[in-house]
Structure 1
Amino acid sequence: MKKTISGIRGIFGEDLNLKDIIEFTNNFSSLIKSEKCVIGRDTRPSGKMIQETISAVLMKNGIDVFDLGMVPTPVVFRESRKYGAGIIISSSHNPIEWNGMKFILDGRGINEKELPNIINHQKILKSKIGKIKQIKSTYVEDASKIIGNVKNSPKIVIDNGGGAAKDFAENLLRKIGCDVEIINQELLGCSRGPDPTSEELIELSKITNDKEIGFAFDLDGDRLVVVRKGKKQTPDITLGLGVAKSLELGYKKFVLSLDTSVSIEKFIKEKGGIVVRSKVGEANVIEDMIKNNSQAGGEGSSAGFILPEFNYCREGILTSGLIASMLKNSKFTEIINYMENYFQIREKIKVDSNHHERIIENVKNSFMKKYSEIDTRDGIKAIIDEDTWILIRKSNTEDIIRISGESNDKEKCKMIVNDTIQLVKENYEKIR
């Protein structure tokens, strides 16, 4: 089981069970001051059972439940602004047998200071029982107002991946004026896995040869991967396109995670913008956005663009509409061409979480001997030159160590990443 600011995640029925769900929901109840909580789930088979359990615990603790049913994560975040708190039943891009809980307070994910309140037992005494009410979201209407109407009915293919984005993404894109085709609408018979950033997206790539663009979502709809002219784009492209749209709208202050492409930072600065780098993780990006009063940004590695004025989360669905509005715009081609000069490689190594800290410490010692500029805010990042970097960090969502690298020289990027992978493996062998 993983217990981080990204949420509680585990294999349901093995290291995550209903007893755990009850405990974490009870603990989270202590943080809900509004006595109201909106909840929703993705399409995982275990979702409804978990949602009913969560609802019962919240009501026992005197909290009124506002039930959205099966909806994507951005919808729960959006609606939680009205109610003060929210819980999403999802483990996002993890395999189907996993499930979990994401916690929302005041429209944002929980932070490091609030996490202990959820994973450590809390006593709650309530004299009343909460109520439950089914509600519908105004998400599509709200998002369409941000985007506006799209001209010339661009032809777009949505690869839903069997996830909860299905009706929301389709309805939004149709509402703003797009010609939409959908594949992998349902989970049963889906041709790919839950994480579009790691899948080849073969079916979507074939269909987009004669379409203007393709959009692939993860199970809870916060990740969006772009496919263009039959070719899957890197996750950072999604963020880059969102940033380009933000610059077009006049926004200048951005927060980017440490593992986001340096090309996006350079593009922002060339356009007169300001960039702050944050630790990896949606909640960390949001925390720095609030602290710095930033207008946009996100996390390149998870294909996550964030627009705080609309939602304090990765916004796959809204971003698909924002990108659609740019398709006939020179800014679209400009950012794509700019970013194509950089190469990112993102790898992961399965490592028992008990060994994560020691391995990263050993790699840090090696990096400090080899590279002159080191950033230790999140794992260990070495800045090799203005166009090249390597980052090693433990995952917030899986028992893995993530290795990310980038350069404007493809062979150089491959060499640095391969050397780091070998270094991690050697250290793991020594301490096992």
Structure 2
Amino acid sequence: MTLIKSISGIRGTIGGRAGDGLNPLDTVKFVSAYATFIRSNKKNDSNKIVVGRDARISGKMMEQVVTGTLMGMGFDVVNIGLATTPTTELAVTMEKAAGGIILTASHNPRQWNALKLLNERGEFLNAAEGEDVLRMAESEDFEFANVDHIGKISDKDYTDAHIQAVLDLKLVDVDVIRAADFEVAIDCVNSVGGIVIPKLLKALGVKKINELYVTPNGEFPHNPEPLPEHLKDIATMMKTTSSDVGFVVDPDVDRLAIISENGDMFGEEYTLVAVADYVLKHTPGNTVSNLSSSRALRDVTRSYGCEYNAAAVGEVNVTTKMKATNAVIGGEGNGGVIYPESHYGRDALVGIALFLSHLAHKKMKVSELRASYPQYFIAKQKVELTPDIDVDAILLAIKEKYSQYDVTDIDGVKIDFPDKWVHLRKSNTEPIIRVYSEAHTMQEAEDIGMQVMDVVKQLSSRK
């Protein structure tokens, strides 16, 4: 059993003894801590907290524990049931609520679930706020409501409201999408995407939809992380149908992977690149992604005479940088599109609508669109270290060794070479350094990554 307590939320495997997994007792503790935090830091007069969940097998059990605990803490609960992560984020603002909790372990396997905590803007708590919640959970200094002040619960469905909000975006061109008469394949991994993605596509004017795994029962038919090695079924479907494009979402529908008409992966890194290309063409401005995302976004941004900025890894870090730089589009290279005109959160619905608008205006095949962007490849490796190694000291030494290059140290160490980069980050849970590298070929990316990894190994052997 596993229970991981971090500033970005609480996640773990279902079951086990208290403290060993995400069980009802631990869930009550962390939800009570969150409710205590919200009560002490309320930015509005609302007494509502929104709760939404993906279709995991443990979802209904978690939903009842969470909503009951919030009521016991004196909050009124707006339970939106099966809902995507971005739907829950939008529901918080639409309800003018004090906060929200999303029950999802995102791309983790079926035995996992998690509590993702939102503020009154429907955005994830920042690092300092997350630390406060963890501290309150450790102290267990909670005050529950008496019988006259127990919260109430109401059930609402925000799926249609979310879809309408997407349709209302100025750059979503329903008429041109409908006229393009796209045939679209989808893989929704038997979670909430199976509810919302077909409805969204129909609302966008798509008449021909080839569906894979749209039953929201939490029985994931393959590893739910939308990586190429897990998407063989939809790749085959693209080759055996006349589908123009394929869309794959993770269980909570905040990440979007795209499949070309020939079954080739568009590349998760290029989801944001393509959407940014469309947004920048119509509304030039700054862009943001995290340090481990492809340089292609920077290249496309500069081609429009605009400025690209990098943020530390993590959605809240990206949104903070986006606000600071007034970015018109941003996100993460894992297929996470953040479009401020909608809201400050990764949203696959927005990504699909903007991508289809872009594709329809371009009047080209998906493979042709992909070929029009700068070609980069990312290699992901790691260096395993002994627990006694001072990882921070090694990263500092790496920074000094490569000081003649453009080095960024806001999140580990990233070395920007003229035609490639390497990003080293230490793991928070195990004695390893994650090494991401990018270049114009996979061989070059692997080689530069290995080169820096060899330096890390040499430094660690001296400690």
Give TM-score, length-normalised by structure 2.
Answer: 0.85
Does the Cα contact within 8 Å between 1:159 and 1:204 map onto a contact in 2?
yes
After superposition, give the CA deviation of every residue in 1:92-145 in whole Å (9 maximum; x if it has no partner). Answer: 112221111111112211101211221112534645111011001111121122
Does the Cα contact within 8 Å between 2:185 and 2:211 map onto a contact in 1?
yes
Distance in 1 separating the partners of 2:219 and 2:22: 26
Does the Cα contact within 8 Å between 2:197 and 2:349 map onto a contact in 1?
yes
Letter in 2 for 1:341: Q
After superposition, give the CA deviation of every residue in 1:78-105 in whole Å (9 maximum; x if it has no partner). Answer: 1111223110011111222111111111
Distance in 2 separating the partners of 1:399 and 1:73: 31
Cα displacement (A) at 1:374 = 1.9
Q: Secondary structure at the match of 2:390?
A: helix
Distance in 1 separating the partners of 2:428 and 2:211: 31
Give the structure 1 partner of residue 142 of structure 2. Answer: 123
Give the structure 1 partner of residue 227 of structure 2. Answer: 197
The match for 1:337 among 361, 367, 371 is 371
Q: Secondary structure at the match of 2:127?
A: coil
Does the Cα contact within 8 Å between 2:275 and 2:355 map onto a contact in 1?
yes
Does the Cα contact within 8 Å between 2:72 and 2:144 map onto a contact in 1?
no
Distance in 2 separating the partners of 1:374 and 1:23: 42
Cα displacement (A) at 1:22 = 1.2
Structure 2: runs of 5 or more not aligned: none
Cα displacement (A) at 1:350 = 7.6
Does the Cα contact within 8 Å between 1:194 and 1:218 map onto a contact in 2?
yes
The match for 1:104 among 118, 133, 148 is 118
Q: Does 1:312 align with 2:312?
A: no
Give the structure 2 partner of residue 159 of structure 1. Answer: 187
Cα pair distance change 1:394/1:54, threshold 3 Å: farther
Q: Does 1:235 align with 2:268?
A: yes
Distance in 1 separating the partners of 2:383 and 2:267: 20
The match for 1:23 among 26, 29, 49 is 29
Cα displacement (A) at 1:297 = 0.5
Give the structure 2 partner of residue 297 of structure 1. Answer: 330
Higher relative contact order, structure no. (Cα contacts within 8 Å, ≥ 6 residues apart): 1
**Fraction of identical pairs, as percent:** 28
Q: Does 1:47 align with 2:59?
A: yes
Cα displacement (A) at 1:21 = 1.3
Distance in 2 separating the partners of 1:284 and 1:306: 12
Letter in 1 for 2:55: T
Cα displacement (A) at 1:401 = 4.7
Cα displacement (A) at 1:324 = 1.5
Letter in 2 for 1:93: H
Distance in 1 separating the partners of 2:56 and 2:460: 33
Letter in 2 for 1:133: S
Alignment of 1:108-187 (within 5 A): 108-121=123-136, 122-124=141-143, 126=145, 128-137=149-158, 138-146=161-169, 147-149=172-174, 150=177, 151-178=179-206, 179-186=208-215
Distance in 2 separating the partners of 1:273 and 1:219: 34
Letter in 2 for 1:201: L
Distance in 1 separating the partners of 2:30 and 2:384: 27
Distance in 2 separating the partners of 1:193 and 1:270: 37
Structure 1: runs of 5 or more not aligned: none
Cα displacement (A) at 1:375 = 1.2
Q: Secondary structure at the match of 2:128?
A: coil
Distance in 1 separating the partners of 2:173 and 2:109: 35
Does the Cα contact within 8 Å between 2:57 and 2:219 map onto a contact in 1?
no
Distance in 2 separating the partners of 1:361 and 1:197: 33
Distance in 2 separating the partners of 1:96 and 1:428: 37
Q: Considering only aligned residues, what root-mean-square deviation do their CA atoms show, in Å?
A: 2.7
Does the Cα contact within 8 Å between 1:244 and 1:335 map onto a contact in 2?
no
The match for 1:267 among 291, 300, 305 is 300
Cα displacement (A) at 1:148 = 3.5
Distance in 1 separating the partners of 2:246 and 2:356: 10
Give TM-score, length-normalised by structure 1.
Answer: 0.90
Q: Does 1:64 align with 2:76?
A: yes
Does the Cα contact within 8 Å between 1:200 and 1:232 map onto a contact in 2?
no
399-408 vs 124-133, greater mean Cα deviation: 399-408
Cα pair distance change 1:427/1:63, threshold 3 Å: farther
Cα pair distance change 1:49/1:400, threshold 3 Å: farther
Q: Secondary structure at the match of 1:96?
A: coil
Distance in 1 separating the partners of 2:218 and 2:399: 46
Distance in 2 separating the partners of 1:125 and 1:168: 36
Cα pair distance change 1:364/1:162, threshold 3 Å: farther
Letter in 2 for 1:148: D
Cα pair distance change 1:280/1:184, threshold 3 Å: same
Q: Does 1:7 align with 2:19?
A: no
Does the Cα contact within 8 Å between 1:77 and 1:313 map onto a contact in 2?
yes
Give the structure 2 partner of residue 322 of structure 1. Answer: 354
Does the Cα contact within 8 Å between 2:289 and 2:332 map onto a contact in 1?
yes
